Amino acid sequence: MKILIVEDDALHRAYLGEAVRAALPECDMVLEAADGATGEKLAREHASDRVVMDLQMSPRNGIEAARTIWRERPDTRILFWSNYADEANVRGISRIVPAGAAYGYVLKSASDERLRLALRSVFIEDQCVIDREVRGLQQKSTGAVSGFTDSEYEVLIDIALGLTDRTIARRRNLSLRSVQNRLQQLYEKLGVYQPNDGDAEARFNLRSRAVTVSLLRKLVNYTALERAEIELARWLEKDGNGPRS
C-alpha cells in the first residue's frame, strides 16, 4: 500500500508520516510532496490512490490538487487535514468530490487517536470521516436556516471579485433583478444593513461590508478567492469583452 502525503510544512509532514506508519502497518511506501503541483505529479507517477492532503498550500492549494487527482483517478481516497473548518473549504470540496468517493476532513487540532482512526476508516474501510465541526458547516451549507444557497454563495464570491450587478447577471445567466434579490438575501443573512438612527448619510457600502463580514465569519477565504479568480479569468476569456457595467 502506498500513501501520498501532500503538506507544505516539514514538521507536519513528519508527523503525518509517523501517524500513517502507526495506523497503517499495511503501508509499505510513504511518498511526500510539499505542494499541490508536486502531489499531483507523484500521484500520477506512482498511481497512488490514498492521499493525505493539506488545504492551504502555495502555489497550488489542496482543493486544486485534489480536483486534478480525482479527475484522473476518481476512486482515489483522500483525507483532507487542515487547520481550518470554514464554509469556503467545505463548499470547495463538495464541488469536486466524485460520487461515491471515500474521503475525510479532519482538523489538525484532532487528537493522535482521532487522526489514526480516520486514516484507517478512509483508507482501509472505505468510509467517509468528517469532523463534527466540519459536518455542522456542511449541514448549514445545504440550505439550513442562515445558510446560503449555491446561487447566493456564487453572488457573494462575485461581489468579492469586484463584479458589477450586470456582469454577475451575464455570468450566472440571471436577470438583473434576480441578482439584486440575491444580494438583499445575502445582506439579511449576514446582518448587513444601514443603521436607522436618523443620520441621513449612509455609513456603509453594503457590498464591501458583506465581503468583510464574510471574511470574518470564514465564509470566504484566500483559497476560495484564488480558485474563483482563476475561474473568472477563464470566463472572461470566453466572454471576450470583459466586464461591462
Q: Are 191 and 227 members of one domain?
A: yes
- Considering its fold, how many domains does the chain have in total? 2
- Cα distances from 116 to residues 15, 24, 45, 216, in angstroms, run 11, 8, 26, 32
Q: Are 154 and 98 members of one domain?
A: no
Distance CA 12, CA 186 (A): 37
Q: What is the pLDDT along the chain (245 residues), one digit of tens a residue?
A: 999 999 999 999 999 999 999 999 999 999 999 999 999 999 999 999 999 999 988 888 899 999 999 999 999 999 999 887 777 777 788 888 898 889 999 999 989 999 999 999 999 999 988 877 676 655 555 444 356 777 888 899 999 999 999 999 999 999 999 999 889 888 888 888 776 655 556 678 889 999 998 888 878 888 788 888 988 999 998 876 544 54
Instruction: Supply the CATH number for residue 12's domain.
Output: 3.40.50.2300
Position 179 in a domain: yes
pTM of the predicted protein model: 0.67
Instruction: Supply the CATH number for residue 217's domain.
Output: 1.10.10.10
Q: Whole domain around residue 228: which residue ranges? A: 148-239
Task: Using the 3D structure, point to which of 93, 114, 139 is the last residue of a domain.
Answer: 139
Q: Are 59 and 87 members of one domain?
A: yes
Residues 28 and 2 sit within 8 Å (Cβ to Cβ): yes
Q: What does DSSP say about strands 50-53 and 29-33: parallel, antiparallel, or unpaired?
A: unpaired
Position 244 in a domain: no
Task: Using the 3D structure, point to which of 121, 139, 157 is the last residue of a domain.
Answer: 139
Q: Are 119 and 152 members of one domain?
A: no
Task: Using the 3D structure, point to which of 139, 167, 199 is the last residue of a domain.
Answer: 139
Residue 170: exposed, middle, or buried by beta-carbon count in 10 A (0-12, 13-18, 19+)?
middle
Q: Are 7 and 127 members of one domain?
A: yes
Distance CA 84, CA 33 (A): 20
Q: Are 36 and 153 members of one domain?
A: no
Q: Are 2 and 75 members of one domain?
A: yes
Q: Are 127 and 168 members of one domain?
A: no
Q: Are 87 and 182 members of one domain?
A: no
In eight-state DSSP terms, residue 98 is P
Q: Are 8 and 121 members of one domain?
A: yes
Q: Are 20 and 97 members of one domain?
A: yes
